[in-house]
């Protein structure tokens, strides 16, 4: 029983990480109808930036997270500038969500992701970076009969704060309202004077900032920071986005938690090498039986 509870806690924190990454996909899909294939690399960059700061300054964790958030946001803006904006002539509503743009940016973001990954590898090497043990988030905590590590709590808490913060931004700030407006009706957004280009850049900033924080959190939790680390969580977050209905944030968060918990629970029954299969099984089931996402046809975006 205790073991189940323990796995549940681990699954929740794992799911929260997927949720943070999935939100980046979801937000960007909402405004542009495109998948940003370089999102996993933003996660990796977040982890490496955090590592560099830790090793050189050893500041408190909060400072590291804030810096990573900022760097992630800037990475996102740069990514949009080089991989997405050049393909957007944006003369009418058809251009913004056109198929041609979807295919062009799919290739350009994939290309940029390869450049980023290889660039990191060239600089740091492909092996795991050694992380000073004292920075790792794995001091055990005993809560009643359950033993977890402080990383679980930190990941869960940080992610929860960021999700709540995102909800606040989307509902109560002008940037957030603009993001939702462009997502809901890009043409309508132009008529109320929303600066669409700037809003799209903000969307990348918000989504990428969250993805980068997820990267450093996981890096510190597992002590595993390496150039290809963004791939697996990227795929799983992508699955969460598809399961949640592509552009629904609540849908993506719920599905990310489902995936996280299922993975952690699966290790009770099968060897953990098979864990990654859970997400792919979900993807296949979703695509076959719920092609519009498991929450049905509700098309509420962002």
Partner 1 sequence: MIAGPALEINNLHVGMGVQSILRGIDLTVQEGEIVAVIGANGVGKTTLMRAISGVYASQEGHIRFYGEDITHWPSHEIVACGLLQAPEGRQIFSAMSVRENLILGGGPLGLSELDKVLSLFPLLGDRMQQNAGSLSGGEQQMLCVARALMRRPKMLLLDEPSLGLAPKIIKLIFNLVQSIRNTGVSILLVEQNARSALAVADRAAVMDGGRIVLSGQASQLLDDPRVKETYLGGNAQHAPAANNEAAS
- Nearest residue (CB) to partner 1, 39 versus 180: 180
CA atoms 293, 296, 301, 302: torsion sign: negative
Name the minimum Å distance from CB 188 to partner 1. 4
Shorter beta-carbon distance to partner 1: residue 71 or 182: 182
Nearer to partner 1 by Cβ, of 126 and 195: the residue is 195
Helix (H) or strand (E) run with residue 298 in it: none
Question: Residue for token digits 């005993």?
Answer: 142
β-sheet bridge partners, residue 87: none
Please give the Cα distance from 208 to 200 (Å, whole number): 12
The CA radius of gyration of the chain, in Å to the nearest whole number, is 19
Return the residue matching tokens 């970076």: 129
Q: Least distance from C-beta 56 to partner 1, angstroms?
A: 42
Provide the minimum distance between the beta carbon of 101 and partner 1 in the complex, in angstroms, as a whole number.
17
Nearest distance in Å: CB 132, partner 1: 47
3-class secondary structure, 242: helix
Handedness of CA 16, 20, 25, 26 (dihedral sign): positive
- Closest to partner 1 by CB, 191 or 289: 191
* Residue 192, C-beta contacts closer than 8 angstroms, at least 6 positions apart: 181
133's CB contacts (< 8 A; 6+ apart) are 223
Tokens of 160: 């929860």
**Closest distance to partner 1 from the beta carbon of 31 (Å):** 13
The answer to whether 72 touches 66, Cβ cutoff 8 Å, is: no
**What is the CA 269 to chain-centroid distance, rounded?**
28
Q: Which is nearer to partner 1, 124 or 295 (CB)?
A: 295
Closest separation between CB of residue 177 and partner 1, Å? 6
Residue 294 CB, nearest distance to partner 1 (Å)?
19
Q: Which has the closest alpha carbon to 180: 290, 44, 27?
A: 27
| Separation CA 43–CA 218 (nearest Å) | 9
Is the CB of 154 or the CB of 175 nearer to partner 1? 175
Binding site for partner 1 (CB under 8 A): 91-92, 174, 177-178, 180-181, 184-185, 187-196, 299-301
**Looking at beta carbons only, is 181 or 283 nearer to partner 1?**
181
């Amino acid at each position: 029983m205790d073991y189940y509870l323990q796995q549940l806690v681990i699954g929740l924190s794992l799911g929260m990480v997927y949720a943070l990454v999935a939100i980046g996909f979801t937000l960007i899909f909402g405004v542009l109808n495109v998948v940003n294939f370089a999102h996993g690399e933003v996660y990796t960059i977040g982890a490496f930036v955090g590592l560099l700061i830790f090793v050189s300054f050893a500041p408190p964790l909060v400072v590291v997270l804030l810096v990573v958030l900022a760097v992630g946001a800037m990475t996102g803006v740069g990514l949009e500038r080089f991989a997405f904006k050049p393909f957007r002539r944006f003369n009418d509503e058809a251009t913004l969500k056109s198929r041609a743009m979807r295919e062009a940016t799919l290739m350009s973001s994939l290309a940029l992701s390869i450049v980023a990954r290889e660039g990191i590898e060239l600089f740091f090497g492909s092996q795991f970076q050694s992380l000073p043990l004292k920075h790792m988030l794995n001091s055990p905590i005993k809560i009643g009969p359950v033993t977890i590590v402080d990383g679980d709590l930190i990941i869960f808490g940080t992610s929860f704060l960021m999700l709540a913060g995102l909800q606040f931004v989307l509902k109560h700030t002008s940037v957030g309202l603009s993001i939702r407006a462009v997502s809901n009706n890009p043409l309508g957004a132009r008529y109320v004077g929303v600066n669409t280009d700037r809003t799209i850049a903000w969307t990348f900033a918000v989504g990428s900032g969250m993805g980068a924080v997820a990267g450093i959190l996981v890096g510190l939790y597992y002590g595993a920071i390496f150039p290809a680390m963004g791939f697996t969580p990227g795929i799983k977050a992508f699955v969460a986005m598809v399961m949640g209905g592509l552009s629904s944030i609540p849908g993506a968060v719920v599905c990310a938690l489902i995936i996280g918990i299922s993975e952690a629970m699966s290790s009770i029954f099968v060897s953990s090498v098979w864990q990654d299969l859970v997400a792919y099984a979900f993807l296949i089931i979703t695509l076959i039986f719920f092609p519009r996402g498991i929450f049905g046809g509700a098309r509420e975006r962002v």
